[in-house]
Every structure is written in C-alpha cells, then in structure tokens.
Amino acid sequence: MINKIWLALILIGFVFAAVKGDINVVTQAAFEGAATGVTVCLGLISVLVFWMGIMKLAEEAGLVKGISKILGPVVSYLFPDVPKNHPAMGYILSNMSANLLGLGNAATPMGIRAMQELQELNPDKETASPAMCTLLALNTASITLIPTTLIAIRMNFNSANPAEIVGSTLLATGIATIAAIAADRWYRKRHAWKQPPVIPPPASTLSLKR
C-alpha cells in the first residue's frame, strides 16, 4: 500500500511537470524535500531526547499502573466478554495507559500481548473476536495527552506558541475516540457473536457396544 502511494506521488508529479513543460521543478522539489526531511528530524532530536527522558521517569515511577487503576471500570465496560481476572485485562489496561501518556514504544508491545491473550479466548483463530475489534478501535483512535512531535515541528518553523495545539488535539482525539467506541458498540450488536456449534458425541462410542 505504502509502496504504491509513494510511487504514485512521484510519478504523477513527474507527468504533471513534464506536461506543463517545466521539468526542472522535479529536481528542485526533490532535493528541497530531502533537505526539509533532514532538517525536521534534526530539529526533533532536542525534543525527543528530553521527552523520552521524562517518559522513562513516568515508566519507572509506575505511572502506567497508576493510570490503569483509574481506567479499570472503563475497560471492564468496554470489554464485557473478557473475564475480570483474565491476564488480557492487565495488558489492555497497560496498553491504554501507555497510549494516554504518549509512550508509543511501550504501548505497542502491550497491545500485542493483549491481542495474544484475547486470541486464547477466541474460538475462531483466523477471525477477530469482538474484544479484539474493540482493542483495535481504541488503538487507532489513540488518545494522547501531549502531541510531542508536532510541538517540536512547530518549534522548528518558529511558531509563536508551539503548544497551542494541545487543547485542540485533545478535543479532536476525544471526539474520534468516542466515535470509535460508539461505532464498535453498534457493529458488535449487529454481528451477534456466533458460538461454535455444539458437537454431538461421536457415534462410534455406541457402535463399540454391539
């Protein structure tokens, strides 16, 4: 998918420039784009180094666990078909808490562990269970408190107030998450979960008696 998008952007650009008779633009834009890419990443170093230090503190202080406690009731509401003491619950909570703190690197492994645990409960190993779909919905909408990368990029281009987007981002991501949960609930009800058919006792046990 990404391969196709990338190639399409370049080729369409090439064709447009060629048709317009202004092919030089391609060379210029390509090298300018490359330069911007590097500049932006170098600008990211300062913020990422600092922020990942702070995030390490959050992790070691057990802040993820602290937030998990607050999120507990929400998660049991969202995952009614996962038993309360099942290990999946713990991983789901850690995944959500890490997402909230913006600990992307910690959130993904936790989410995958949660998926593996949910797979244990899943009767059909190739089809996603409702709980898996809910976990995915939460992760695609992922609420993040501080959009660090964006603040860094805005700083790079001399924004007067790089952090002014924190509030708007939080509102937008909150609305997107509510939409994801609502849509997930709606589909969950429509696709009533099919229980695996009850297998009748094999006839061969009867035939043994003669």
Site for another protein in 78-107 (CB under 8 A): 105
Q: Is 17 helix (H, G, I), strand (E, B) or coil?
A: helix
- Is residue 136 a contact residue for another protein (CB under 8 A)? yes
- Is residue 74 a contact residue for another protein (CB under 8 A)? no
Q: Among all chains, which residue has been given the structure tokens 């991983």?
A: 91
- Is residue 70 a contact residue for another protein (CB under 8 A)? no
Please identify, among the stretches 52-60, 68-76, 79-87, 199-207, the one whose residues bind another protein according to the rule CB under 8 A.
Answer: 52-60
- Is residue 17 a contact residue for another protein (CB under 8 A)? yes
Distance of CA 196 to the CA centre of its chain: 30
**174-183 b/e (C-beta count within 10 Å ≥ 16 → b):** eeebeebbee
Q: Which residues in the 105-124 window bind another protein by CB under 8 A?
A: 105, 108, 111-112, 115-116, 118-119
Candidate residues 86, 87, 121, 166; the one interacting with another protein per rule CB under 8 A: 166
The least distance separating another protein from the CB of residue 70, rounded to whole angstroms, comes to 14
- Is residue 45 a contact residue for another protein (CB under 8 A)? yes
- Closer CB to another protein, residue 17 or residue 71? 17
Candidate residues 21, 60, 209, 210; the one interacting with another protein per rule CB under 8 A: 60
CA dist 3 to 10, 13, 26, Å? 11, 16, 20
- Closer CB to another protein, residue 13 or residue 87? 13
- Is residue 25 a contact residue for another protein (CB under 8 A)? yes
> Six-digit token pair at 151?
């603040």
Q: How far apart are CA 58 and CA 98, in angstroms?
A: 10
Q: How far apart are CA 10 and CA 98, in angstroms?
A: 36
CB-based contacts of 125, cutoff 8 Å, min separation 6? 119
Candidate residues 87, 106, 141, 189; the one interacting with another protein per rule CB under 8 A: 141
The DSSP 8-state label assigned to residue 192 in this structure reads P
